Structure 1
């Protein structure tokens, strides 16, 4: 993984989580802003999939368990669409908070993926 991209992903996921949580606690229902923030988080995760495929060929192999890394990555990619579908089905203020919690979970998962890729020794 690329360190600056990891920091970008964690920052965007935390910002999206904070935005959605504040909007939800303020009583706002899912809107283009909250759903769009989840789209941005998903876009960065899809870019991470491409980076994870290309990095070993570019001389940046993982030091940890590759299977564990991919399980984290695939799970993280599935979370934003699931949160958005939930929000669009329920359309309540708490569904916006659920999108925020999903973003915070993704931030933690991305950092864990970075640790698996760079720090752990298999």
Structure 2
């Protein structure tokens, strides 16, 4: 993992999650802003997948369990997809809250991936 990219992902996922939760609790239905924020979180996760595949070839190897890292990464990739699917099917304020919960869930998962990649085994 690349440190600056990890912090970028954490910032985007945290802001997107909080934004969606606040807008959802304020009664807003899913819109371009909330769906776009979640799509950006998903895009950064796809880029992270590519980075994680390429990184070991450049000498940046994981110190923890590679299987656990990829399990977190694939699961994190599925979370925003499921939340967007939910928001498209049920267009209510609670769908916007679910988008926010997905963003915050991805935040936690990316932080855990960072721990697995850098901290474990030291």
Provide the TM-score with structure 2 as the length reference: 0.98
Name the counterpart of 1:19: 19
Alpha-carbon displacement from aligned partner over 1:85-122 (angstroms, at most 9, x marks no partner): 10111100011001000100000000000000001019
Alignment RMSD:
0.9
**In structure 2, how many angstroms separate the alpha carbons of the residues matched to 1:62 and 1:118?**
6
The ranges of structure 1 where at least 4 consecutive aligned residues each deviate by more than 2 angstroms after the TM superposition are none
Name the counterpart of 1:29: 29
Provide the TM-score with structure 1 as the length reference: 0.98
Alpha-carbon displacement from aligned partner over 1:3-51 (angstroms, at most 9, x marks no partner): 1111000000000001100110110000011000010000000000000
Matched, 1:58 2:58: yes
**In structure 1, how many angstroms separate the alpha carbons of the residues matched to 2:112 and 2:81?**
21
Name the counterpart of 1:95: 95
Name the counterpart of 2:9: 9
**In structure 1, how many angstroms separate the alpha carbons of the residues matched to 2:60 and 2:37?**
30
Count of residue pairs the alignment pairs up: 122
SS in 2 for 1:43: helix
